[in-house]
Structure 1
Amino acid sequence: MKRIFLFLIFSNILFGQEKLVFDNINIQTGIDYQNENYLVFDNSEFYYFKDFNSNTWNKKDILYNQIPTSKDFPYNFFHIKNKNYFVYKGCGTVYEFKNDSILRIDNSFEHKSQFNASTFIYHDEIYYFGGYGLFTFKNILTKYDFKTREWELVKYSDHNNIPEPRSHALTYLIDDDLYVIGGFTENYETNLTTTTNKALNDIWKLNLTTKKWTFLGNLKNKNFHIIEKLGYLASKNNLFFDNGKLYQIDFKNEILKSTEPKGKYTFSLLEQYNSKRNEIFYVLSNSDESNRKYEIIVENFDDYKSDFINEEDLFESNNSTQNILLVLVVLSISLVIFYFLKKKSKPQHENKIILKDSNFYFKDKAISNLLSEENELLYFFFKHKHQALPMNEVVDFFSKNDATPYNTLTKKKDLVLSGLKQKLAFILEVEEDDLFIIQKNTEDKRIKEIQLNPRYF
């Protein structure tokens, strides 16, 4: 009896129950394969867990938590090399969950620039593709470096052939190839400041070894799109997504399959697939909007699935992937020939970016795809366009007279400058290295200087 009493005193497990229901969807779920637990987090004080072999949910105190207090839980969950991590949904801060505590491990900050990005793990590193933040959609790829504890921008090998900026895209990783499907982007077909975003129906493939994008085609079925809070999952070499129906995308055979409509395919959220047990871990909402409830469900994936009764071509046309690739090769050769012919010709005055009334223009059109920091940095370069700036002055530009370490400012400078160069090179259709003149100071060779290339500015 004494042993039981001591256990109850020192254990931080608060209770056990078979059913777990929430009043809101501001939660995050995860699968801990190392300890064979399903995890649910809904605030900064405690979490819920259920053993793979148990039907009971337990509530447990978080002993130490460095995540800022908030009403929701704005973090994505990742399980890498038997460790559990939380990453800010807008990209940036990284925390490790271990020993019932959440500890910050990064040297970064809350970027707030890639909300609703498509996240994935590749070679045990965390990646964010696309997303939305600071009033713009993104098509950048960022990854977290566990050694430096910083985020870095992954540069594409061909900036002239990249997907349109987007959020909410499906992504599916097969070996070294990342497939990106659909999503939402800015609707430029209206002048209204607040309008519904445009749904995308394209499919792209990024080879993560060569960093080269390939456009595969457009979806034939235009009727299914990702909605915020809905999930998708990869299982047995196929991608599954539910929205009213359960869809299966078969990339190998270029086929889209679907089931009959079912309620759970409409109200299920945050789906995750447990590859060890062939189970699906998800949140199921009821249909009562006046009294919405969200139940945590663990179910055998074969029971969750229905018979796929509909089958159609994945792509808009009947062309095979090989024919599409052949067309892309021809187009690529044409682009290369066009590029070299254009490079030989003398640049005209109109092939310049100009500053007018505090706004940047190219060929009389305003440039609107720059982030605020990229815009401010370009303005800074324009103010000193007739002089070469020491690189340390560019780093000082990012200082806000606070105690931010110089190394952090340097990395931030590199990230912003890289993004700026990528976008300007895309606009001007030139190489990124041609945008700036990089040189050493004539008096002190240790000092590196940078200046806008007057050929393009």
Structure 2
Amino acid sequence: MDIGNFHPLKKVLLNEGTSELYLFQPDSVYIVKLDKQKKVRKIPLLVPEENFIYDFHPISIGDNIYFVEYKGGRLFEYTDNKFIRKDRSFTHKMQINSTVFVHKDSIYRYGGYGFWSQRNFFTYYDKPSSEWQMVAPSSSKILPKGTQDSWVTNVEDDIYIFGGIAMDDYNPEQFYPSHKVFKFNTNAASWQELGDGNIDLSRFSKSIPFGNKHIYLDDKDDNIYVVDIIDNTLKLYKKTSVNNNIVALLNSYYFKGAFYCFIWNPQQPNHFQLTVIPEEEFFGDLISEREFYDTNTAHSSVLLGVLSTLGISLLLFLTRRWYLGRNKITVSLKGLSYKNNKFDMDENSIAAINLLLRSDDEVNSKELMDLVENKNLNFAHNTKIKNKLIAEINFKLRTVLGIKADPITFQKSKIDKRIKTYSIERRYFLIR
């Protein structure tokens, strides 16, 4: 089927709901009835603005056709040969070259470039609000690096992101092919890194969606590459005679067991024709099959992430431990130190401080008396020894800490007002 001169034809869209192929020119459209292999007459387009077909990306949901702005968030519905504005957005230039796709009957976008940075999240068009909303990865522990022109495959609640172009974080004007493969689960709102792709998809000049798979071709390569991201397979087939003639700048489609491709018309220069190629005739012999992405890199990244997290946690723990104890007296069962310097204190004093700090209940006078009690002395004499011990401890602690108030004080027991109990200001100490 001869379509005509190459240059006026700018966009091609398959509407699976109506089994029609739309061939958009700047000011008109051809509609090809795929079931009848028939091209209807040329229909003039009442575009809402100049260069509209250049600046917007067509996409279909069921029987409906929409046009999404490349450089911003404007959205039009194409119906009855009219373009109806649907959104309340604007040309924000923050998602240039984002990947536009349909997920559960909603228009999604992933990635994109703008203001020397790249996006690493999804947005979707919300019909009730007529606004674009962000899909927050609220439960994710990792995030992919931002990319543009990425490939997308979505099945049920999973959206696979792979390939595309990434940007150098330290030189925003330098770009490089991304090999990362990620999966986002919309129910869990979480990312999972799957691995690194084994081939550079950016080197291919042609690609064709093939169900949940993607086909990649290039004039300089004699093979056809079929990527199944879900099963993690990469199959190589020999090209057939028709593959090299496929026009790279116009979308080809797979529909109901056949490929609909635009190829150069050998009889007329700068003309091309729409050709239907049955699936069994599209592929040559199978050459090889291997994994598309290497899962070891993802496991290494996870392990590195775990080790990094543990290292950071340990560093934070040690830092917090140092911070909390930097102006405190460190107390152990063996002795006391202040700012890494030990200071002399007798065994009874160390025991008394540990008793006061480690006790969950009130420490009464008798418990402290037991530490210094001499059976050969009477109660009054032992009480003086106990009071002297407390006074000496308070003097040493005040001197070391540079404070005026005694850290150890006494008060009446909450249980029995006749009993004297002791307490210590815990904020001055770090227990080990």
What is the one-letter code of the residue matched to 2:209? L
Aligned to 2:91: 110
1:240 has 2:240 as partner = no
Q: Which is further off, 175-184 or 48-57?
A: 48-57
Alignment of 1:80-95 (within 5 A): 80-95=61-76
SS state of the match for residue 69, structure 1? coil
Change (3 A) 1:88 1:296: farther
User: How far apart, in 2, do the equivalents of 1:132 and 1:294 lie?
Assistant: 33
Query: Counterpart of 2:40?
Result: 58
* Counterparts of residues 364-403 of structure 1 (less than 5 Å): none
Distance 2:47 2:229 in 1: 42
User: Which of 249, 261, 264 is the aligned partner of 2:243?
Assistant: 264
1:283-333 deviation digits (Å, cap 9, x = unpaired)? 43589xxx755544443333323332122232336x5xxx95697389459
> How many angstroms apart in 1 are the aligned matches of 2:169 and 2:82?
45
Partner of 2:18: 35
Equivalent residue number for residue 159 of structure 2? 178
State how far apart, in whole Å, the 2-side matches of 1:152 and 1:334 are: 33
Q: Secondary structure at the match of 1:217?
A: strand
Equivalent AA in structure 1 for residue 65 of structure 2: N
**Mapping of residues 43-442 of structure 1, within 5 Å:** 43=26, 45-62=27-44, 64-66=46-48, 68-70=49-51, 73-157=54-138, 161-187=142-168, 197-222=175-200, 224-225=201-202, 230-235=206-211, 237-243=212-218, 244=221, 245-261=223-239, 264=243, 267-269=246-248, 270-275=250-255, 277-284=256-263, 295-316=273-294, 319=296, 328=302, 331=305, 335=309, 338=312, 342=316
Identical pairs, percent: 19
Give the TM-score taking structure 2 as reference length: 0.63
Secondary structure at the counterpart of residue 186 of structure 1:
strand
C-alpha contact (below 8 Å) 2:246/2:261 kept by paired residues: no
Residue 110 of structure 2 aligns to a residue whose secondary structure is strand
Shift of 1:205: 0.8
Q: Which sections of structure 2, spanning at least 5 residues, go unmatched? A: 321-432
TM-score (norm 1): 0.59
User: CA offsets, 1:250-296, max 9 Å, x none?
Assistant: 34543211122567358443445444x22323443589xxx755544
Deviation per residue, 1:143-185 (Å, 9 max, x gap): 1111111111221125762111111211111221111111112
The C-alpha deviation readout for 1:408-427, integer Å capped at 9, x for no partner, is xxxxxxxxxxxxxxxxxxxx
- Tell which deviates more after alignment, 51-60 or 335-344: 335-344
Contact kept in structure 2, 1:19 and 1:57, CA below 8 Å: no
Question: Which is worse superposed, 207-216 or 180-189?
Answer: 180-189
Aligned residue number for residue 361 of structure 2 = none
The equivalent residue for 1:437 is none
The amino acid of 1:103's aligned partner reads: I
Does the Cα contact within 8 Å between 2:68 and 2:74 map onto a contact in 1?
yes
Question: Compared with structure 1, are the counterparts of its residues 128 and 91 closer, same or farther at alpha carbon in structure 2 (3 Å cutoff)?
Answer: farther
What code does the residue aligned with 1:93 have? R
* 2:2 is the alignment partner of 1:23: no
One-letter code aligned to 2:153: Y
Taking only aligned residues, the RMSD between alpha carbons, in angstroms, comes to: 3.6
Partner of 2:392 in structure 1?
none
The higher radius of gyration belongs to 2
Tell me if structure 2 keeps the 8 A contact 1:271–1:282. yes
- Counterparts of 1:80 and 1:246, CA distance in 2: 29
Q: Structure 1 residues 159 and 130 mapped into 2: Cα distance closer, same or farther (>3 Å)?
A: same
| Further displaced range: 202-211 or 109-118 | 109-118
